[in-house]
Each structure stands twice: as C-alpha cells, then as structure tokens.
Structure 1
Amino acid sequence: MKKPVLTPDLIRLNANPHTKQQAIQMAGALLVEQGYVAPDYIEAMLLREQTLSTYIGNGVAVPHGVDEMGTLIHHAGIAILQMPQGVHYGPQLVTLLIAVAGHDAAHLALLSRIATVCMEEENVARLVAATSTDELMTAFLPSVSSNDLL
C-alpha cells in the first residue's frame, strides 16, 4: 500500500538539534519510525553530506541518501524539521531541514517541489514561524486532499 508523502508525524515543530549531524539523524529517525526507510538510510544521508553539502539556500537543507542506497527506501516521503533557532551547516545557518526519501522520478519530483516552495525567502520565513503541522503540509502539498507531491 502506498503511503502519503507527508503526514503530521513526519514534521517536528521547534526542533532543537545542536549539530548538522543531529538534525539529519532526527529527520531520518522520523522516516524510519513511520516506515518510509530502513534504519541504514540515516547513515546514507550522513555519508552524502560528507561528500556534498545539501544546503540549497534561504536557510534550507535537503539531506538525502546516495543513489546506491535506494534499496533502503520503502516509500517516497519527506520529513521536515522546523528549527527556529537554527543549526550550523558549515558557514550557513539552517532553519528548515527537509529529509528526502525517493527513487528516480519520485526523488526528482520531491526535490523540485521543495525547491519551488523554498526559493522564496518569504515562504521559508513563514514555514519557520508556523505554529502547526498543517501550515507546513499545506505549503508542500499541491492540494490538501491529495497528499501527493508527485
């Protein structure tokens, strides 16, 4: 059975990790707990981060696993950490971290939707100030009823 790409259980408001690695592990744990990925996918995200930063600008990072780790993904999905206090991602401060789990076209569609939403600083500021998971879900889902980014 296909899982929704985003649910309230995949969002953490006011998360306060102390390091980039903790933030990636926290978002990865949400994907693991909800059955989207195998536990080793967290290590795949950390591995990718060692070779190439997933910071995309405007205070947003989009960690995801390396291509060879696709077998660790059970369902396409995203986990969102809202971090108003931010976490250092090298010289940048990240306030919104969106962990992505997806294969091929699903992976590209997820990244495309995230980039579209996060390209405007005002959108990111609104998401970082959001007080409910519904506000974040509405921003990333084209229609609240579909719960499908693809």
Structure 2
Amino acid sequence: MTKAILTEDNIILNQSLGGKEEAIRFTGDILVKNGYVEKLYVDKMLEREEVTSTYIGNHVAIPHGTEDAKSKVKETGLSIVTVPEGIDFGNGNVAKILVGIAGKGNEHLEILSKIALVVSEEANIQKILEAKSKDEILNMFNEVN
C-alpha cells in the first residue's frame, strides 16, 4: 500500500525559520520524519538549490532533490510549510510557502503541475498563508486532482 502523498503530518503552518538553508532542511526533514525519503535526500535538496534556485515566484519555493537523489526516495510525498515573514531565496525573491517534493520515477512531474495550478493564483497564496487549519490546505491541493 502506498502512502498518501500529502497528509496533515506533512503540513506545518506559521513557521519561523532563520534562512534559506534552514528552510530547506526543515521542509526536507518533514519528508524524512514521515518516511518518504532517506536523510541523505535533504542534502541533495540543498545541492539542488546551489545549482539553481527552487523559487518559482508568487512567494513560493519548491525545494527538491537533484536527479541522482531519486534512489533516496522511498515514497512520493509533499511537505508544505508556511512562513508568513518569508525566507530570502536570493535576488529579492521571498518565499512564504515552501513545498518540499520527493517523487519516485517521474511522479514528481504530475505533482509539480498540480502544485503549479494551485500556487499560480494569487488568491490561493493568500488562502494558504491565512489557513487556520491543515485541513484547509489539504482541501486546496486535493481539489486539483
């Protein structure tokens, strides 16, 4: 039986983080703690960020591992962290929503397109940042199926 890709355990609201590296580690550690990836995957998330920024605009960053990190993925999963005061991802880009992603095979491509549909709308960004419960965020991402 495969795990649910996104659960309440994978969502942390209103977190305060000290910088980009801490933010990526925090986002990745949720995936580790909940059994989606091996610990080494988090290092590969940081490595990916050194190669190219995972900031995608609209106050959203999608930290994920490098191509060679796929062997460290046990199950496809997402983690979502809201950081209302924002994290500087460089070049004036401030992320307030972090979406950690780990995909087996090419499953991450389908997941990325679903994430993009949700976060491309400014109204959804506000809804995510103002969410009072993890359920509100789960529902937003589940409606995209």
Q: Tell me whether the two structures share a fold, i.e. TM-score over 0.5.
A: yes
Q: Deviations over 1:53-90 (max 9, x none)?
A: 01111000001101111010000010000111111111
Asked if the contact 2:74–2:104 (Cα under 8 Å) also holds between the matched residues in 1, the reply is: no
Which residue of structure 1 aligns with residue 140 of structure 2? 139
Identity %: 39
Q: Which aligned runs of 4 or more in structure 1 are off by greater than 3 angstroms?
A: none
Following superposition, the deviation at residue 130 of structure 1 comes to 0.6
Q: Which runs of 5+ in 1 are unaligned?
A: 144-148
Q: Name the aligned partner's letter for residue 112 of structure 2.
A: L
Q: Which TM-score applies when normalising by structure 1?
A: 0.93
Following superposition, the deviation at residue 125 of structure 1 comes to 1.1
Q: Which runs of 5+ in 2 are unaligned?
A: none
Which residue of structure 2 aligns with residue 45 of structure 1? 45
Q: Name the aligned partner's letter for residue 120 of structure 1.
A: E
Secondary structure of 2:106's partner? helix
Residues matched between the structures, number: 144
Secondary structure of 1:117's partner? helix
Secondary structure of 1:104's partner? coil
Which residue of structure 2 aligns with residue 98 of structure 1? 99
Q: Deviations over 1:65-121 (max 9, x none)?
A: 011110100000100001111111111111000000003331101110110100011
Which residue of structure 2 aligns with residue 3 of structure 1? 3
Which residue of structure 2 aligns with residue 107 of structure 1? 108
Q: Which TM-score applies when normalising by structure 2?
A: 0.96
**Equivalent runs, 1:1-150 vs 2, <5 Å:** 1-90=1-90, 91-142=92-143
